[in-house]
């Protein structure tokens, strides 16, 4: 196996707390039930890097009939990013174990440019030899193109990659292009599945070898 590729949100980071969605809605002065449809309506171009944060949040504001100035854009970006900063310590323990045994790791995430650069600055980001983000690639999961492009950038083939993601649609799309994929539900299950999928000794002290 040439590479193990991890998703970020929902795998490395924990899902947002229940009240996370209320914070940007409160900043805009609307109810969460009204906020989320406006938030998701034009999210994909933001994830693709086709629009910047100001364009995205002003569009959200227009849909909600709320003015959004530069200061509010900055506030909303901070609130949005803050939803995804709670790192799953159990997943990170797995990543650290793999990195310590020289298993090549990559990160593939649907992430806006602000999130991408925030992740790049984290101390744990160094465990990943390559970090690939939708805003930089101008591609998003689950499009087949993002998986092919990822393999090109990693100089490998789909059959030599193992991919971990918490969304079934992303896992299914990766499998459709020939990438062995694991659906993340919890770290204990992931550890067991990686132990079965990777060369022996990944978590038992013996050096992992590429195959």
For CA atoms 139, 144, 150, 153, give the dihedral sign: negative
- pLDDT averaged over 10-residue windows placed end to end, the chain, 211 residues: 95 87 92 92 95 97 97 96 94 97 97 97 97 98 98 98 98 98 97 90 50 35
What was the pLDDT predicted at 157?
97
pTM of the predicted model as reported, rounded to 2 decimal places: 0.90
Angle, helices 70-82/53-63, rounded to nearest 10 degrees: 100
In DSSP terms, 191 is beta-bridged to none
Q: What pLDDT is stored for residue 1 in this prediction? A: 81
CA 120 to centroid of chain Cα atoms: 12
Closest CA to 107 of 1, 5, 11: 5
Q: What is the pLDDT of residue 7?
A: 98
Can you list the domains of the chain with their CATH numbers?
A: 3-13+86-197 (3.40.50.1000), 22-82 (no CATH)
Residues 94 and 194: beta-carbon distance below 8 Å: yes
Lookup: tokens for 186: 């919890």
**CB 116 within 8 Å of CB 47:** no
């Amino acid at each position: 196996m040439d590479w193990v590729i991890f998703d970020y949100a929902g795998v490395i980071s924990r899902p947002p707390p229940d009240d996370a969605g209320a914070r940007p809605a409160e900043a805009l002065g609307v109810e969460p039930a009204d906020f989320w449809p406006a938030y998701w309506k034009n999210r994909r171009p933001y994830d693709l890097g086709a629009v910047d944060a100001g364009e995205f949040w002003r569009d959200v504001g227009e849909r909600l009939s709320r003015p959004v100035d530069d200061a509010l854009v900055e506030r909303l970006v901070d609130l949005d990013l803050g939803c995804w900063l709670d790192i799953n310590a159990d997943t990170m323990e797995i990543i650290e174990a793999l990195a310590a045994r020289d298993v090549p790791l990559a990160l593939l995430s649907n992430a806006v440019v602000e999130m991408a650069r925030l992740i790049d600055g984290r101390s744990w980001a160094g465990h990943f030899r390559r970090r690939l983000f939708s805003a930089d690639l101008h591609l998003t999961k689950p499009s087949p193109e993002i998986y092919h492009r990822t393999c090109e950038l990693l100089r490998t083939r789909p059959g030599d990659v193992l991919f971990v993601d918490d969304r079934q649609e992303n896992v299914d799309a990766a499998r459709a292009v020939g990438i062995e994929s694991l659906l993340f539900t919890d770290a204990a299950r992931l550890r067991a599945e990686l132990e079965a999928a990777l060369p022996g000794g990944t978590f038992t002290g013996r050096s992992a070898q590429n195959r």
